[in-house]
Amino acid sequence: MIVKTFHKETKELLRDGRAKATFIIVLLLLSVAVWISHTKYKNANTEYEVAKQNEREVWDNQDAKNPHSAAHYGTYAFKPKYPLSLLDKGVDKYVGTSIFLEAHNRNEALYSAAADQTGISRFGELTPDFILLFIMPLLVILLCYNIFTKEKELGTFFLLKSTGASVTNLTLGKWLSVFTPVFLSVTILFLISGFMLSSLKDYGVFSWTPLLSMWGVYILYYIVFINIVMLISYVSKRSGISLVISLSVWIIACLGAPKVASTLAEDKNPYPTRQEFEAMIVKGKKEGLDGHNPWSKEAKLLEKQVLEEHGVDSLHQLPFNFDAYRMQKGEEHQAEVYFKHYKQLKEQYYKQTKTYKSLAVVSPFLPTRFLSMAIAQTDYATHWDFSDAAENYRIKSQKFLNDNFAENAAYGEWSYKADASTWTDLPVFEYNPPVLSAILKGNRSYLIILGFWTLLSFGTLFLITKLK
């Protein structure tokens, strides 16, 4: 019965010109989206490698100068492009690609792709994640909104039930006829993407494991939609009613729920405005040591403490340059100020994330969206991690430069210049994003919720078909 139903439904889908045309259009859109993303991914990585190399050459080729001047001269930390961003761009186009690293200041990432777009391009963009998240569920609706109602309208459904045919087997056969084309199309897309990425030897470290993990997430997402739409078709009397209800579910799940979740998360745990945040930073800096002000109360206390520790009564008797030492202590204070206030921002982010997780049970779209971005390493958590890595590198760089000044110059010797070869001793900035196991552990609740949706939709579908 299952095999016969599967063959019957498959033949009907192949004979249905609308379904066939829509399926072909969706596949073409997916192919074009992947090709466009592949091209952009290659270009972005080429630009990243060139910018990273050029900026390092600029830093290494500085003339002899005071190390603190080099600290103010600064350098850039560039965010790499990750292989699976080919399929899910996430928030990458909004958060910037490089951070300027300089003395005394922690800067935000600059040069976001969204800022460079024209007005018309902001209305929408053809990307694989857009099609996978929004268009494929519509295709599922088209394929199975009338999978039971057409039988009722023709009278064949009740005829089959009267013969004693198993409704469970009938349902399973119909389910397989819808799942098979969706499964094949998504699998082919991910395989093509995988072969494209594995052929790019110079760009990123591609692994099939994260790609298969993302593929599994989307398969579960479509299974949930298939179950829901088939259930709607089973309890509906007319195909038109089933279609309207199914589209309403899509609107609520894919458009309404994310917007409501975003609004609630922001209202419940709002971020401070940029002006408020900058005011808190300025206030925090003023409450501690300023490395450039040797006459401040904090500087005098530090001077007294250092003299006592070394058992001398003059800064000239210290075995290091106290000006550089004071500037380093000022850097450490300012770094603590930034750490404190950025920690508060991250706490707000984590609180908002908890709100999203608590609301993810209302729509399968939400756990799928967040899991997809996390696995692709294009979510806010990865960007936070990159920003923290850049800040740690900035702090270590300032210590490297101030220590060079302190160890090689006498007190008051501001004319000291470090040799040009000094700059090459500063290690190159390298960023390693979280590994897949850590990502999945951090998003475990989303996996549980998506699994819950899968089991609930399956259980409800087969329970209702047995009872009704």
Confidence of residue 155 (pLDDT cuts 50, 70, 90): confident
Gap between the Cα atoms of 59 and 419, Å rounded: 13
Share of the chain above pLDDT 70, in %: 94
Confidence of residue 161 (pLDDT cuts 50, 70, 90): low
Pick the more confident residue, 291 or 395.
395
What pLDDT does 22 receive? 78
User: Which element (helix H / strand E) includes 276?
Assistant: helix 274-286
Strand order in the sheet with 105-106: 75-78, 98-102, 105-106
**pLDDT above 60 (res 376):** yes
Query: What is the number of other CB atoms lying within 10 angstroms of the CB of residue 120?
Result: 7
Mean per-residue pLDDT, 401-416: 88
**pLDDT above 70 (res 187):** yes
Mean per-residue pLDDT, 350-370: 90
Pick the more confident residue, 404 or 7.
404
What pLDDT does 341 receive? 92
Computed on alpha carbons and rounded to an integer, the radius of gyration of the chain in Å comes to 30
Confidence of residue 122 (pLDDT cuts 50, 70, 90): low
Do residues 121 and 12 lie in contact, with contact meaning Cβ atoms separated by under 8 Å?
A: no
Predicted TM-score (pTM) above 0.85: yes
Three-state SS at 99: strand
Average pLDDT, the chain: 87
Mean per-residue pLDDT, 298-315: 88
Gap between the Cα atoms of 147 and 186, Å rounded: 21
Do residues 418 and 65 lie in contact, with contact meaning Cβ atoms separated by under 8 Å?
A: yes
Mean per-residue pLDDT, 246-268: 92
Gap between the Cα atoms of 317 and 307, Å rounded: 9
DSSP codes, 128-188: HHHIIIIIHHHHHHHHHTTTTHHHHHHTHHHHHHHTT--HHHHHHHHHHHHHHHHHHHHHH
Pick the more confident residue, 205 or 259.
259
What pLDDT does 467 receive? 64
Strands 75-78 and 98-102, by their bridges, are antiparallel
Query: What is the number of other CB atoms lying within 10 angstroms of the CB of residue 237?
Result: 11
Q: What are the distances in angstroms from CA 261 to CA 26, 248, 266, 350, 354?
A: 28, 18, 9, 14, 11
What pLDDT does 203 receive? 57
Q: What are the distances in angstroms from CA 281 to CA 173, 333, 415?
A: 63, 11, 31
Gap between the Cα atoms of 199 and 193, Å rounded: 10
What pLDDT does 124 receive? 57
**pLDDT above 70 (res 383):** yes
What pLDDT does 23 receive? 77
On the CB side of 219, how many CA atoms lie within 13 Å of its CA?
17
What pLDDT does 209 receive? 94
DSSP codes, 157-169: HHHHHHTT--HHH
Give the Cα-Cα-Cα angle 86, 125, 364 (nearest 5 degrees): 75
Residue 244, C-beta contacts closer than 8 angstroms, at least 6 positions apart: none
Mean per-residue pLDDT, 449-466: 91
Confidence of residue 166 (pLDDT cuts 50, 70, 90): confident
* 92-107 per-position pLDDT tens digit: 888 888 999 999 999 9
**pLDDT above 80 (res 202):** no
Confidence of residue 54 (pLDDT cuts 50, 70, 90): very high
Gap between the Cα atoms of 261 and 257, Å rounded: 6
Mean per-residue pLDDT, 267-273: 89
Share of the chain above pLDDT 90, in %: 46
